[in-house]
Amino acid sequence: MSKFSLDGRNAIVTGASQGIGKTVAETLAEAGANVSICSRAQERVDPVAEGIEEDGGTAFAMECDVRDADAVQEYVDATVEEFGGVDLLVNNAGGEFVAPFEEISENGWKSIVDLNLHGTRHCVQAAGEYMRENDGGDIINISSVNGQHAAPNESHYSASKAAIIRFTETLSAEWDKYGISVNCIAPGLIQTPGVAETLGIDESDMPPREEVQRRIGHTEDVADVVHFVASDAAAFINGETITVKGTPRPGNSMSNDLGLDN
């Protein structure tokens, strides 16, 4: 099982204050990685780092808005100073809101594209520079099933997540020569704090992870796939999008699961 170890790897996980990002950070730390995590608010990401260290891991936390290229560069530089390098980048930071296309303002559209797509670009640009100069690494971009299929009432979100998939494929071809693998994970409906609030779901409503036929997933379902793709066990995977969606309802979109397609 040593091929699944991340001992000595230096990882960055964006948007790690809660939900998928938090669980990814905890999972990578448990596998042996030194984990650098960020969020737009220092007070939200500090407890996550403290929890990782209490469990015996190594963590570094810093406030960073991924929409700001200069802030991202400062964050990546600080991570390199703290850990000595960057071997793994997980682009998880993102956001969405639900509205029909005709009601989405120009500012609303730009806000989602800026966070989801441009934020991913900023992080790849900054961390990728270190990877190219230091024997490669792994980049994992978090997209969505709504970037793969129609997602009514989420045109802005769907467009940004679809772009991340194409960006992943193109960059994997360009950066293979540097020893950098670039892959993408597309989660379906996952119980994050935002989804839980929208659907009124709490832990008592969640089916156990052992249940195969599930319409909603745990954050661990995504984090375990991130762990696999980041490990040597996935060394022959590059430029791929791995879907983590369980048993979705017809239409395969999160908006359909939320009952928003009508």
Backbone angles phi, psi at 18, to 5 degrees: -160, 180
Q: What is the mean pLDDT of residues 70-78?
A: 98
3 in a structural domain: no
The whole-number pLDDT of residue 248 equals 59
93 in a structural domain: yes
Residue 169 has pLDDT above 80, yes or no: yes
Residue 251 has pLDDT above 60, yes or no: no
Percent of the chain residues topping a pLDDT of 90: 81
262 in a structural domain: no
Q: What is the mean pLDDT of residues 27-49?
A: 98
Percent of the chain residues topping a pLDDT of 70: 91
The whole-number pLDDT of residue 250 equals 54
The whole-number pLDDT of residue 247 equals 76
* Sign, CA torsion 164/169/172/173: negative
1 in a structural domain: no
Q: What is the mean pLDDT of the chain?
A: 92
The whole-number pLDDT of residue 249 equals 59
The whole-number pLDDT of residue 183 equals 98
80 in a structural domain: yes
184 pLDDT band, cuts 50/70/90, is very high
174 pLDDT band, cuts 50/70/90, is very high
H or E element at residue 193: helix 193-199
Full domain range(s) for residue 214: 10-256
CATH number of 74's domain: 3.40.50.720
The whole-number pLDDT of residue 258 equals 47
How far is residue 70 from each of residues 76, 77, 112, 256, measured CA to CA in Å? 10, 11, 19, 37
Residue 259 has pLDDT above 60, yes or no: no
Active site residues: 157
Residue 257 has pLDDT above 50, yes or no: no
Number of domains within the chain: 1
Is the model's pTM score more than 0.85? yes
How far is residue 117 from each of residues 34, 156, 204, 229, measured CA to CA in Å? 26, 11, 34, 21
Q: What span, in angstroms and rounded, lies between the C-alpha atoms of 179 and 131?
A: 8
29 in a structural domain: yes
Q: What span, in angstroms and rounded, lies between the C-alpha atoms of 78 and 75?
A: 5
Can you state the percent helix, strand and coil of the chain, rounding each to 5? 50, 15, 35
Under a CB-based contact definition with an 8 Å cutoff, are residues 20 and 94 in contact?
A: no
34 in a structural domain: yes
261 in a structural domain: no
